[in-house]
Copies of this chain bind each other. A is one copy, B any other.
């Protein structure tokens, strides 16, 4: 079918071992021989078949990254960071799970059947026990979304502190009734729960009790922001500021508010989360919490590669710095 190492060896008049050495830049081969072999390789248009190499070496140098979706996210920067950290030894292979447990499991098959050496799970739907079991046999890492009681190496931000910062800023500017638009309680995402805890802590510090009526629980869909705004404005004392656990929800809230004639920034402050590019493009530009995407990606792959090569694996959680970015949707 295609040209193999044997063909090259024959054509170059050497053994396959020598060709292999040239291929792997072994120094135990004379310059002339190497040059001759390389000539033949070029001439024959030979590419080593990695299926053979991988089988023999029991490694693929591929890392699978399972992302929930490629749409409207800040994953782009993370992926860039991952690629840079992986090069030149590893390749990053992306696949989307659509936040679907079955799909995620199917993709993890690649780990079981040795198609990849390791996997990064972003926003996993797996539970702690399953993750810990996996972690024992394979090299995995969590990214952005931690899982309680899991001993899997994780890179994320301090979501509690980030929400605390965002809501504190609202409070310092004199707002007292702060709405929360979250997926917490609807999904199992711990980041949402953590952000709600941070929201509550900020309120408490200003002597305000968390009031469930100022919390709107919904999905990640941006149009749920419409419903949130409608709900809040229907209250006797509508919130003066709204903290959304995603930029997309913030867009929904703002859009609906503008439709209702509410002045964003003055009559109503809104803060999103993630600092996706849309938050800067939107009118008004949206105040948000920025996650250090590139660094997150870099760190998680660096740690994972470390784990691949070390018998004793790190299972800690790396917390990176978030940043509150104040724009026009707040005063």
Interface residues, chain A, with chain B CB atoms under 8 Å away = 1-2, 47-55, 58, 60, 62, 69-73, 75-76, 79-80, 83, 91-96, 98, 107, 109-110, 112-115, 137, 222, 251-252, 255, 258, 277-278, 281-283
Contact = CB atoms under 8 A, between A and B. Distances in A.
Given A50-B114, A70-B70, A113-B49, A255 B283 contact: yes
Contacts of A252: 281
A113 B1 contact: no
A62 B281 contact: no
Contacts of A137: 2
9 residue pairs, one from A and one from B, having the closest CB atoms: A71-B76, A47-B112, A94-B94, A50-B113, A51-B55, A93-B93, A70-B70, A70-B76, A51-B54
A75 B60 CA distance: 27
Nearest to A223: B281
Contacts of A251: 281
Contacts of A55: 49, 51-52, 55
A48 B114 CA distance: 9
A53 B112 CA distance: 13
B69 A115 contact: no
Given A70-B75, A72-B277, A91-B110, A58 B47 contact: no
12 contacts: A2-B137, A53-B113, A70-B73, A71-B76, A71-B277, A72-B277, A80-B98, A83-B96, A91-B95, A91-B107, A94-B95, A283-B283
A138 to B, nearest CB: 10
Nearest to A51: B55
Contacts of A282: 281-283
Contacts of A51: 51, 54-55, 58, 60, 114-115
A279 to B, nearest CB: 11
A94 B113 CA distance: 19
Contact of A62 (B71, B115, B258): B115
Nearest to A103: B83
Contacts of A115: 50-51, 60, 62
B70 A114 contact: no
Nearest to A59: B51
Contacts of A112: 47
A113 B47 contact: yes
A113 B76 contact: no
Given A96-B79, A258-B283, A281-B222, A113 B48 contact: yes
A115 to B, nearest CB: 5
A315 B47 CA distance: 25
A2 B277 CA distance: 45
A236 B20 CA distance: 69
A162 B73 CA distance: 28
A125 to B, nearest CB: 17
Contacts of A98: 80
A282 B76 CA distance: 21
